Amino acid sequence: MNKEIKKPKAILPKGFKDNVQELIDLRNTVTETIRAECQKFGFAELETSSIEYTDVLGKFLPDKDRPSGGVFSFQDDDDQWLSLRYDLTAPLARFVAQNYQDLVKPFKRFQSGIVWRNEKAGPGRYREFLQFDADVIGVQSTCIDAELCIMISNIFKNLGLSFEQFQIKYSNREIWDDLFRKLEINEEVEPLVLRAIDKKDRVGIDGVKNLLQEGRKDQSGDFMEGVGLDDSQTEQIINFLDNNDQSNQQLEEFKDYLSNYKDYPITFDPSVVRGLDYYTGMVFEAELLLNIKNKKGEDVVFGSVAGGGRYDKLVSRFGKEDVPATGISIGVDRLIVALQQQDLLSANRPPLVVIANMDKNQLSEYLKMADELRNVGIACEVSYGSKNLAKQLKYCDRKKANIVVIAGDSEISKGVVSIKDLAAGKDLSKKITEREEWKESKAGQFEVQRKEFVIAIKKILDNQ
């Protein structure tokens, strides 16, 4: 008896998704806007490998012999660990170290690419997503950090956001280092303190106090372990968060640059600490101030869509001297969600013409017409499905085609073709109430001479 073959299920792993044409078009629209602005500021494009040696990404725990820390990893045939990149910065640092002598410095690069995080998937939280980075290697001055903030602002403006709809907040690692030394907080505890502060927007200032000391219970009933600081340490940190007058040499240089862009929504906020255990100087975060509806239909403030800072010690991991470096990262997919809800984004999709297949004996003529359109840069396809015109028109509607060309025996014998402007047809049909009137009107449809049909189609597309 033959053993039944077990067929695989047609299902994606958790945290992954397929991207259809509509999302791809939206991604391309947003990334092209970002790319154009980066080029205006002198950045050049770079593509780094999707796979790196795991130690390049720095994802080994000291007491483990396999990678950890949220990366997808596997062993090569020489037993070396390889990982899918979890961001675009670590591969850039490897590239700079590997090609340091040949690079024109400062080295300004931008990159758009997929990254992977081996983390628990959840609603709207994917393990594979598109990231856009822009980085500058070889400039010590924090003027370049400020310039990145101006560039982000320009990107948001070009995507249709006003200065009232977003803000960029910045802080500095060194002022926090000075505070930690003053409070005698050791290096092992510093990341825990920063993590507690980073939850300020979610848990409030009282919640931060609890997290800095004995801990707190969240709404679900789960207890979050506290850092264990004493009352004096906690009070000084809370006061520090409310003090917007702090400064040092880096901040003064940063502010001096921004004084040339006083109308830009860029402000100092010491509570910006995300990534401070990673960054070495300036740190900044861009957030949208829009009310966005979540999956439950509730209005929520959208929050962060971009962030970055200075990471002067990352390249030195590869045996090089400390190399000044700073950069930004933009969450493209998150940005798309917000822009769509505000009706600020539509895909730049090239127009499409479909030639209806009315008669198999006329295929050669249909192919000639299609080639004539393609030769002038107009996307065109010949319908090979149902010969039923109504079904072909339905297909065109679902495909979001702009124009249908209809040419049966009678049209071709007269040297004409019938052109149906689908956009105009929809507008006209809305004004027609009687069935007979609709049938007689052939809404949006007209005849032209066969030799002039390309010119007629170009004219329609130019006016759509």
pLDDT digits (tens, 9 = 90+) for 290-316: 877 766 777 777 888 999 999 998 888
CA distance 444 to 456: 13
What are the pLDDT digits (tens) for 115-145?
999 888 776 678 998 999 999 999 999 999 9
- Rounded mean pLDDT of 198-217? 81
Q: Which amino acid, residue 188?
A: E
Pairing mode, strands 223-225 and 416-421: unpaired
pLDDT for residue 22 is more than 90? no
Confidence of residue 64 (pLDDT cuts 50, 70, 90): low
pLDDT of residue 186: 85
Q: Return the number of other C-beta atoms located less than 10 Å from residue 414's C-beta.
A: 12
In a domain, 59, yes or no: no
pLDDT of residue 433: 44
Angle at 328 between CA 326 and CA 334, to 5 degrees: 165
Angle at 235 between CA 231 and CA 236, to 5 degrees: 120
Whether residue 177 sits in one domain with residue 277 = yes
- Kindly report the length of the chain: 464
pLDDT of residue 353: 95
Whether residue 116 sits in one domain with residue 250 = yes
In Å, how far are 365, 435, 444 from 431, measured between CA atoms? Answer: 35, 12, 12
Last residue of a domain, one of 293, 322, 341: 341
Lowest mean pLDDT of 34-43, 150-159, 354-363, name the range: 354-363
Whether residue 297 sits in one domain with residue 396 = no
Whether residue 439 sits in one domain with residue 382 = yes
pLDDT of residue 438: 41
> For the domain that residue 100 is a member of, what is the CATH number?
3.30.930.10
Buried b / exposed e across 221-259, counting CB within 10 Å, b at 16+? eeeeebbebeeebbeebeebeeeeeeeeebbebbeebbe
Last residue of a domain, one of 282, 308, 341: 341
Q: Which amino acid, residue 448?
A: V
pLDDT for residue 427 is more than 60? no
Lowest mean pLDDT of 166-170, 188-192, 218-222, 361-365, name the range: 218-222
Domain span at 308: 21-50+85-185+229-341
> For the domain that residue 367 is a member of, what is the CATH number?
3.40.50.800
- Rounded mean pLDDT of 244-260? 93
Whether residue 405 sits in one domain with residue 320 = no
Whether residue 163 sits in one domain with residue 31 = yes
pLDDT of residue 439: 46
pLDDT of residue 124: 66
- Rounded mean pLDDT of 438-457? 79
Strand partners, 6: none
Lowest mean pLDDT of 3-12, 243-252, 354-363, name the range: 3-12
Of 97, 107, 98, nearest to 46 by C-alpha is 107
Confidence of residue 376 (pLDDT cuts 50, 70, 90): very high
pLDDT of residue 59: 65
Last residue of a domain, one of 311, 341, 371: 341
Most confident range, picked from 55-59, 297-301, 426-430, 446-450? 446-450
In Å, how far are 135, 161, 202, 263, 361 from 168, measured between CA atoms? Answer: 17, 13, 18, 12, 63
Whether residue 105 sits in one domain with residue 147 = yes
- With a CB cutoff of 8 Å and minimum separation 6, the contacts of 55 are 81
pLDDT of residue 278: 77
Pairing mode, strands 73-75 and 266-268: unpaired
Q: Residue holding tokens 């483990």?
A: 64
Whether residue 434 sits in one domain with residue 377 = yes
Whether residue 335 sits in one domain with residue 356 = no
Confidence of residue 208 (pLDDT cuts 50, 70, 90): confident
pLDDT of residue 441: 45
Whether residue 281 sits in one domain with residue 148 = yes
What is the count of structural domains for the chain? 2
In a domain, 244, yes or no: yes
Q: What is the pTM of this model?
A: 0.83
pLDDT of residue 423: 80
Whether residue 360 sits in one domain with residue 336 = no
In a domain, 297, yes or no: yes
Whether residue 330 sits in one domain with residue 259 = yes
